[in-house]
Amino acid sequence: MTGGFSKLRHGLLPASEDDPEVTDLEATIEDPPDDVAGRDTDRPDARLDAKKVRGTIVAEAFRRAAPPSLRRAIAAGRPVASVIQVPSSAWMKAVDEYLTEARVKTIARDGSSKSIDVSHVGNEEVAKCLVAGRSVVGISTDPQRFLPTTLLLSADVTVKLASLDTKSVRVLLRTLLPSAGRIASRRIADTSGLDLNDLVSIFRSGSTASGALDRLATLAMRRRQSSPHVEGAPILSDAIEFGGAARIFGLNFVKDVQDWRRGSIQWAEADHGAILHSEPGHGKNFS
């Protein structure tokens, strides 16, 4: 494949020399005040394709999460060992596709193959690549469980991709829909809980930024209401009338999820399994 990393400018090229923490893309985008509304008259963009949208989203997520030193090393072709933890299998495939274009050796695993996605498989390959001066990037939903031990131990840096913040969504809109204009932060819905393909789906050929923002808001709302029993349900931490072991488990699970999102624990460390048992009619199906 030709072109290498020159095609991936928005994600991994070195930061500006004046400010190593700010990329060229960031420097060209003004952060408007929250009270400035987006244009309702913005013009539809040219035709989009899913690969372009996925790559742009991955580039922005990587730019936001990865240290500039890693982006510079990969862009320059210097050998580096790194681990990227992704939120889902969809993210894993997209990150793998994105980095493959940079001629980086990737090892992508999500546990779908019980014979390959294990820590003792692939260690020799990792060692050979690094000795030969080639970068190796492990991509996984749970690196500690699925990636080769040699890569985990030799990794120069570990990156955890997470939900995009308001500024990143604004960057995506202006990159994929150049006529977007100024976009107020209050118009950008929370992306937490949305998978990669959810985010891709808001960008449609012939659409405007206003239309993309409306679709994002609808997606976020529907994700929150995806369970028919969520609407009107009490917050567990406030519902002191619900006691016992099930409530304790639920509260501990919420804390584990918060710690996992902050990167302070691995998903494998979270206590995310429980069996509810009781006589019929005690609400197990609604717990």
Dihedral through CA 23, CA 170, CA 52, CA 107, nearest 10?
Answer: 60
Query: Which structural domain, as residue segments, surrounds residue 67?
Result: 1-226
Among 59-63, 99-103, 134-138, whose mean pLDDT is lowest?
99-103
Indicate if 179 and 137 belong to the same structural domain.
yes
Indicate if 217 and 258 belong to the same structural domain.
no
Q: Render pLDDT for 28-82 as a digit per residue (tens, 0 to 9).
A: 333 444 434 444 444 444 578 899 999 999 999 999 999 998 888 888 888 899 9
Q: Given pLDDT bands bounded at 50, 70 and 90, which one contains residue 16?
A: very low
Indicate if 177 and 273 belong to the same structural domain.
no
Alpha carbon of 148 to those of 88, 119, 166, 196: distances in Å? Answer: 19, 4, 35, 25
What single DSSP character describes residue 234? P
Does residue 267 carry a pLDDT above 70? yes
Percent of the chain at pLDDT > 90 equals 41
Indicate if 270 and 161 belong to the same structural domain.
no
Indicate if 44 and 176 belong to the same structural domain.
yes
Does the residue 50 lie in any domain? yes
What is this structure's pTM?
0.66
Dihedral through CA 28, CA 31, CA 36, CA 37, nearest 10?
Answer: 70
Q: State how many domains the chain has.
A: 2
Q: Residue 194: CB partners within 8 Å, gap ≥ 6?
A: 163, 219, 220, 223
Place of tokens 């990156």: 159
When pLDDT is averaged across residues 130-141 and rounded to a whole number, the result is 94
Q: Render pLDDT for 211-260 as a digit per residue (tens, 0 to 9).
A: 999 999 999 888 877 655 555 556 777 666 666 787 788 888 888 887 77
Residue type for 259, please?
D
How far apart CA 17 and CA 14 sit, in angstroms, is: 8
> Which of 173-182, 222-231, 232-241, 266-275: highest mean pLDDT?
173-182
Indicate if 127 and 178 belong to the same structural domain.
yes
Among 41-50, 86-95, 254-263, 268-277, whose mean pLDDT is lowest?
41-50
Indicate if 220 and 272 belong to the same structural domain.
no
Does the residue 240 lie in any domain? no
How far apart CA 287 and CA 279 sit, in angstroms, is: 14
Does the residue 75 lie in any domain? yes
Alpha carbon of 233 to those of 101, 155, 193, 245, 276: distances in Å? Answer: 46, 44, 18, 19, 19
Q: What is the reported pLDDT for 183? A: 86
Indicate if 215 and 267 belong to the same structural domain.
no
Does the residue 231 lie in any domain? no
- DSSP per residue, 16-83: PSS-TTS-HHHHT-----TTPPPPTTPPPP----HHHHHHHHHHHHHHHHS-HHHHHHHHHT---EEE
Q: What is the reported pLDDT for 283? A: 63
Indicate if 16 and 156 belong to the same structural domain.
yes
